[in-house]
Structure 1
Amino acid sequence: MSENDFDFFHGRWRVANRKIADIPGRGTEWVEFDAETEVRPILGGAANVESLRAADWEGMTLRQYDPARQVWRIWWASTRAPGHLDPPLEGRFTDGHGVFFGDDVVGGQAVKLRFDWTAGSEPVWQQQFSYDGGATWETNWIMRFSPLAG
């Protein structure tokens, strides 16, 4: 684990999304849509900023490495919640697999969040929620990334 853990993700990507349509209602209908994202390093490589664009919304992620604790923190904001920055998730990579945990409130209900990252030339990100304090996890969003030319 190091400030280089997310170096695989720098650049421009096509994003194939598969997401539960109504997460606050804990729905079961999956929707699929495409997006594009660009990730660039900042702060000498110890952080990166991602700008994601889908057809009807935009999101951004800030990831920053904390060398004293040897963890990454990940913050998310989007046009779907104007003026709101989600609480950070915190975690690390081991052997190309990153796991990050945090707490939030979704649809008025406290949830634990988990991000799973699989690094590589075509990375995969998954988001999971736990409504029972982390005893069980429900996957509600999967992103598959493929590089864009240029």
Structure 2
Amino acid sequence: MNQTDGAVPGLSGLHDFDFLVGQWQAHHRKLKQRLANNHEWIEFEGTLLNQPLMGSYSNTDDTVLGVPGAPYRGVALRSFDPKTQQWSIWWLDSRTPSDPLDPPMVGGFHNGVGTFYGEDTVKGKRVRARFLWSNITPTSGHWEQADSPDEGKTWETNWVQDITRVR
């Protein structure tokens, strides 16, 4: 769902994440090992609470991840840049709260699909990372994360999250 504010030039993507405001249940599937030719997934539940900030120019998620034997929390912070018409997304992880934030994932929505790219580190090696938001309705959505060890020629999806609105 790509909501736009067509009346104000430079703000056409400002409301792209409005769908996410509220409280959600999340079902996660995550590869046990990234970029290791591994096909073993772990599944777990979680929650997500999203709220807008700065007049909808940013928003934040408080996320609870019920990973079996090692639950943790995280915060996603998103910020919209009207000059570039793109969103930047940062992640703060409760397991490493003092680490510097990674460079942001950057992108936007087109035809109802949000695509965001950035850099990540897997086993000490820099890789290209991608987030996709899709199948967005007022009561559900789908997010996935993928890595590319070859600058985007191939992608391995390593995390899938399906959310259902609680309120």
TM value normalised by structure 1:
0.93
Match of 1:53 among 60, 64, 68: 64
2:35 and 2:147 in contact (8 A); partners too: no
Aligned 1:58-137 pairs, distance under 5 A: 58-84=73-99, 85-118=101-134, 119-121=136-138, 122-137=140-155
Give the structure with the higher percent strand.
1
In the other structure, the counterpart of 2:53 is 42
**Higher Cα radius of gyration:** 2
The amino acid that maps onto 1:22 is Q
SS in 1 for 2:78: strand
| Shift, 1:24, TM fit | 6.5
CA contact (8 A) 1:96 1:120 kept: no
**Residue in structure 1 matched with residue 27 of structure 2 by the alignment:** 16
What percentage of aligned pairs have identical amino acids? 37
In the alignment of these two chains, the number of paired residues is 149
Amino acid at match of 1:120: T
How far off its partner does 1:25 sit? 4.8
Change in 2 beyond 3 A, CA 1:72/1:113: same
Greater alpha carbon shift after TM alignment, 68-77 vs 115-124: 115-124
User: Would the aligned equivalents of 1:50 and 1:61 in 2 still touch at CA under 8 Å?
Assistant: yes
Structure 2 spans left out of the alignment, 5+ residues: 1-11
Contact 2:35 2:156 (C-alpha < 8 Å) held by counterparts: no
Partner residue in 1 for 2:41: 30
Letter paired with 2:97: P
Amino acid at match of 2:31: I
Q: Which moved more, 1:72-81 or 1:8-17?
A: 72-81
- TM-score between the two structures when normalised by the length of structure 2: 0.84
| 2:153 partner SS | coil
Aligned partner of residue 162 in structure 2, secondary structure: strand
